[in-house]
Amino acid sequence: MSNAKHITDQLSAYLDNQLSASERSRVAQHLRACAACQRDLASLQYTQRLVAAMPAVRAPRSFTLSPETAAHTLPRWQSSWGYRALQGMTALAVLLLVVVVGADVFAVNRSSNSATRASAPQIASAPTLAAAAQAADSATNESKASTSAPAGALAATTAPQQPSQPTSAAAAPTSAPTLAATPTIPTTRSPIVASASVSSTPTSTASPTAVPTNTRAPTATATNVPTAVPTTAPTRTAIPAESVPSTSAPNTFDLHPIELSLLALALLGVSALVIMRVTLR
């Protein structure tokens, strides 16, 4: 035992050739002089060889995944009955909301000339709502949906706030009359004032104040006047502001309780799904 300290704790690394050159030579030097450490090394090596020589055990059966097993690799709560039901009902609520709002807008359009302008943005907004529903729905089928789900939810929640008139009306019932009244703004200044359906100008009675307050009005006129030339222009101009007071307001774009509750359901469902996704990982 020339080197006072045994090198027992280095023996495995020495055997496995995991020592640096200097450590290795130090261990080798000690081993030459120390019989106890030599015995330790030999017995360790023997043990290691016994273990390594143990017979390999083959898998007793195949561990391949069946399509069913693979499908169930989603977190358990995601494949649960409750989650799926919530998913389906939310999609249904969004779908019904789109249908009902669409029908409503259509009805308003039919009876109110002033509302025809609204139909253009409405058509654009309907797909976004549907897409949001789809996104929220399909996102759940992806494993890394935690990133995509919020995106879908974002689409769903922002959709009602997009500048499309029917949906923003739905989101904020109080602003509905003023929004519907926006068509009156260009007509007052419009040079093509024709005398068409006077009956359909109830909205302006609802809010004469709408003219100054509605911030959307300028942009609406800016975009719509030049582009929607042939078809909308005549109908739009059919609302002379002067003729307004004569009629009452049967056609205001007000929100039906069914729409309101559907919207609430859809928003509730989407936010619940998103919260589940984010929190239950």
Partner 1 sequence: MSEAQARVERELIQSAKRGDLRAFNRLVELYQDALYYTAYRILGDGDSAADTTQEAFISAYKHLKDYRDGSFKAWLLRIVTNACYDYVRARKRRPADSLEDMLNSDEEREPPDFVDSREGPEEHAARAELHRLLQHGISQLPDDQRIVLVLADVQGLSYEEIASATQTNLGTVKSRLNRARLRLRDWLLERQEHLPEQFRLSSERL
User: Which residues of the chain form contacts with partner 1 (CB under 8 A)?
Assistant: 8-13, 16, 18, 39-40, 42-44, 46-48, 50-52, 54-65, 67, 69-70, 73, 143-144
Choose between 55 and 191: whose C-beta lies nearer to partner 1: 55
Q: Residue 27: CB partners within 8 Å, gap ≥ 6? A: 7, 10, 11, 14, 19
Q: How far is the CB of 75 from partner 1 (least distance, A)?
A: 9
Q: How far is the CB of 112 from partner 1 (least distance, A)?
A: 51
- CA-wise closest residue to 216 among 165, 256, 260, 160: 165
Q: How far is the CB of 38 from partner 1 (least distance, A)?
A: 8
* Centroid of chain to Cα 204: 37
Q: Residue 263: CB partners within 8 Å, gap ≥ 6? A: 97, 160, 170, 171
Choose between 70 and 85: whose C-beta lies nearer to partner 1: 70
Instruction: Scan for tokens 């495995």, then name that residue.
Output: 12
Choose between 44 and 194: whose C-beta lies nearer to partner 1: 44
d(CA 54, CA 34): 31
- The amino acid present at 154, given as its one-letter code, is L
Q: How far is the CB of 44 from partner 1 (least distance, A)?
A: 5
Q: How far is the CB of 7 from partner 1 (least distance, A)?
A: 11
Choose between 2 and 58: whose C-beta lies nearer to partner 1: 58
- CA-wise closest residue to 247 among 259, 256, 239, 236: 239
Which helix (H) or strand (E) segment is 22 a member of? helix 21-33
Backbone angles phi, psi at 197, to 5 degrees: -60, 105
Choose between 21 and 59: whose C-beta lies nearer to partner 1: 59
Choose between 75 and 250: whose C-beta lies nearer to partner 1: 75
Q: How far is the CB of 18 from partner 1 (least distance, A)?
A: 6
d(CA 276, CA 281): 8
